[in-house]
A and B are shown apart, each in its own frame.
Chain A
Amino acid sequence: MNEPLLKLSGINKYFPGVHALKDVRFEVRKGEVHALLGENGAGKSTMIKIISGVHKPETGSISLDGQRVNFNNPRDAQNIGIATIYQELGLYPELSVAENIFMGHAPMKNWGLFKTVDWDRMQRRAEELLGELNIYNLDVQANVGTLNVGNRQRVEIAKALSLDAQILIMDEPTAALTESDVEQLFSIVRLLRERGVSIIYISHRLNEVFELADRVTVLRDGEYIGTQDVKDTSESDLISMMVGRTIDNLFPKQESEIGDVVLEVRNLNHPPLTNNISFKVHAGEIVGLAGLVGSGRSETAQVIFGVLPAESGEIYINNQPVHIQHPSEAVKHGIGYVPEDRGHQGLVKEMTIRENTSMAVLDAVSSNTFINQAKERILADQSIEQLSIRATGAEQVVNKLSGGNQQKVVVSKWLASNPQILIMDEPTRGVDVGAKSEIHRLMSQLVAEQGLAILMISSELPEILGMSDRILVMREGRLVGEFTRAEANQENIATAMMSEVINKRKEAGG
């Protein structure tokens, strides 16, 4: 009973210098949510790309409903009802929602001689599709560029439905979402499951897997490890399957004695999303900054870091007033900023590890503006060693690294500038469990041993609760709450984050 709808077997895929998938098999049943787990670089993405027809496997067979299929391009896969929602959203910011949904298969009006895109029908269908997802307040003519992340993703899902997909692949759909968006997403996923759509769900957040998935398949280093029913497995099982070893603790928080104030901001202003923010950060403490996406957390961080110079308010470092107009000045004052958007803000992906790690400290590695490559190499090798970055060496191009390792490179870049204050914006977004715990361990080491002050922004409550000594909560550009590690818990923080907002967001579909 319950024959597999999609069946992959003996899949092998090679990339230059890498054997990405080794004889992998994979099954998806009709109407199930099937989680696909594995550390970055384990081969999940490659597998998805194969299922969705982007890559062709060297060997192995794919069969749908028993008969063999093979895809030469994404279109083929779409035609037989396999739709994919990619991690980096595949949308056209300059085009309207309706168009994005129907790009490539717009409803046409037939005039006998020629066909034309039927805009009216396209917009009506778009509204219907969104309706099916219980989204009634999204303007189908708005430019996607003007939507927030949650809405963009809904557009992606609607797009998938428009192909009336029987298999829907979701690659880390929640990576960029806020709690409330995640809730909506889950309800949509369940909705689809009831309609008999099979969903391949990829995520690093294990709790989501347990909340949502029926079965789970684990890959490691391009090999098939196993498939299990979610109900008869446990978090630690999965982790050990993924990592190949057991991870004692995801949040290895060490006790560290809190020093005196290193960073203090007083009524910092940069409307609309930063309105007289005031707080202190002490040496040797991790301050968690919680809040919904769009609540102004990142903006605040960027104001401090000088990307968006403050319109008013003071910043004190070691009780000295400082005036930060540009990131370079922030760096001089010993502030580091690990931004949320790694690929776009954190790294120059086309450059090597060496060049990236030294980017913030060029002065240090160069004698009067001439860069000393030897020094650079030493620096790079140190950070590779210290953060155990998995790479072929300092000369490897960052592009080629997995998400977790890329994140480590970003961190190492800022450690190289040995800062007093490190602002970490979503330090573990899209990072696999292994790397995640390593980064967390590193954070608490830095704090405990070097007395660093860390301001950590995160959308993951467990992370906030697990790592912070103190927790600040922002909402709509204002600081609305402060909790000590002791008094903080899921509920009071969540409510602080969302009270009132919830309703507003509901109606806004955001």
Chain B
Amino acid sequence: MRKTFAITLVLGLLVALFSVPTGAQDDRWDGSDDLETNPLACGMEEMMEEDAEEGDEEEMMEPMEYDGGSATDAPDMAGQDIVLVDVPKLVGIGYFAATTQGQQEAAEELGNVTVTTDAPTEANIDDQIQVIDSYITQGVDGILFAANDPVAIAPVLRTALESGIHVVGYDANSEPDAREWFVNQAEFNGIGKAMIDSLVDQMGEDASFGIVTSTFTTPNQARWISEMWAYASDCYPDLEWLETLEAQEDAVLSFQQAQTLINKYGEDLDGIVAMTSVATPNSADAVQQAGLCEDIAVVGLATPNDMKPYVNDGCVRDAILWNPVDLGYAAVYVMRAIIDGEFAPGDTSVMAGKLGELQVVNGSEVLLGAPFVFNAENINDFDF
């Protein structure tokens, strides 16, 4: 009896160690999901702006049909005070604290809007659904959301639309027809290009790099990575994709995963691409603590304040601005515009307070702008 256990134990261990699918390179993960990628034209990031424009023009040449939904017989609240609820993925993390901040700013400027933020305490699709549901029951004029899962959240959002509640998404999209508009920081392909460009510019076209992402299942990161892949394979086929590691939205894990990449690939590692505003500073921290600032470039999305220590001491050259505050800000303005009837399907742009006029792309997405890259020169202009 005991012998058999012992044997099974040993065997099992061997199985565990050797028979599991190994070789991260082999099935390198490119955020593959069924969706299409459309990489932008090649080029360095000084042309970034133009490229982005170009991208938009393309959109305009064959403008896509409005594919969002619409709130059925919503009460006309034009100009009146409205109550909005904002349901991000979860509460209690810095990122959505920032979006909330932006929404409050917008609400103050507009004066006739009140926004309350409420969301589950874990990034859990089911809890988010329940929160939204209870607000539908409670009755609000509009719902702002950042979806934990584009599909899972759709049914409840449709219910909202049916019961005459306006729905606008930001940061993380849902199925288009389940909401009216989606406020997008920057287009996926834009981000993908910016990342790769920055990396190539620092480490050359044959650089080899690893990726620290949140989880394989988070749609945004997945899309960006696949766009990166698409763009890179068009423009810089020599880039070597080493490995992609999950780090949730967790600082410690991001740090450790970055360390693991550094230690595992040693000199062979030229860059770390961080897909979340948590991963970027912590990867930078890891590189700095390992004293490899010269040898490893950290590229990623980040908020300026987090990056200041690393950018200012030159360990990180630049990062792509991720501006949750403006994101939240814009979302509220878009919602207001919808309700005031100033922004309807078919429009190609919308006014968003201090952000000026925002373009509409991909049918029903409001674009915050082209990806903005900040570096030692301009980082200190920001404070969030």
Chains A and B touch (C-beta atoms under 8 A apart): no
